[in-house]
């Protein structure tokens, strides 16, 4: 007598693929969160402090970052690049 249930020949391959994907996902997520554009811990602190104090107010963030960088780094404040519209970037100072 023939069984009505038909098994797919791709079932084990699909199961193996899903298992590998589930096992690899945490490693991929962790590797993405470890990498960071900011090489300097001090610059990261200034940026997070500015964003925390002035959320969604980019010109105030830029002014605060400029003042904080000048206070902490002296003439090294140019490592934080700020334009008048509030956009900013940074370079690593180590």
Query: What's the pLDDT tens digit per position in 59-71?
Result: 888 788 878 877 8
* pLDDT at 58 (0 to 100): 79
User: Which range marks the domain in which residue 46 is found?
Assistant: 41-90
Question: Is 65 a member of any domain?
Answer: yes
Q: Which residues of the chain have pLDDT under 70?
A: 1-10, 25-39, 75-94
Question: Is 25 a member of any domain?
Answer: no
Question: Is 13 a member of any domain?
Answer: no
What is the chain's alpha carbon radius of gyration, rounded to the nearest angstrom? 25
The number of beta carbons lying within 10 Å of the beta carbon of residue 24 is: 10
DSSP 23-89: HHHHHHHHHHHH--S---HHHHHHHHHHHHHSTT-HHHHHHHHHHHHHHHHGGGGGGEEE-TTS-EE
* pLDDT at 41 (0 to 100): 76
Question: Is 24 a member of any domain?
Answer: no
Question: Is 64 a member of any domain?
Answer: yes
**How many separate domains does the chain show?**
1
pLDDT, one tens digit per residue, over 42-51 is: 777 888 888 8
Written as six digits, the tokens of 71 are 């206070």
* pLDDT at 94 (0 to 100): 34
* pLDDT at 13 (0 to 100): 79
């Amino acid at each position: 007598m023939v069984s009505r249930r038909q098994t797919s020949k791709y079932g084990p391959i699909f199961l193996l693929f899903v298992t590998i994907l589930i096992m690899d996902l945490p490693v991929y997520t962790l590797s993405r969160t470890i990498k960071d554009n900011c090489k300097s811990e001090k610059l990261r602190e200034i940026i997070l402090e500015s964003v925390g104090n002035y959320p969604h107010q980019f010109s105030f963030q830029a002014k605060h970052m400029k003042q904080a960088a000048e206070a902490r780094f002296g003439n090294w404040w140019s490592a934080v690049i700020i334009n008048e519209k509030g956009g900013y970037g940074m370079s690593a100072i180590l």
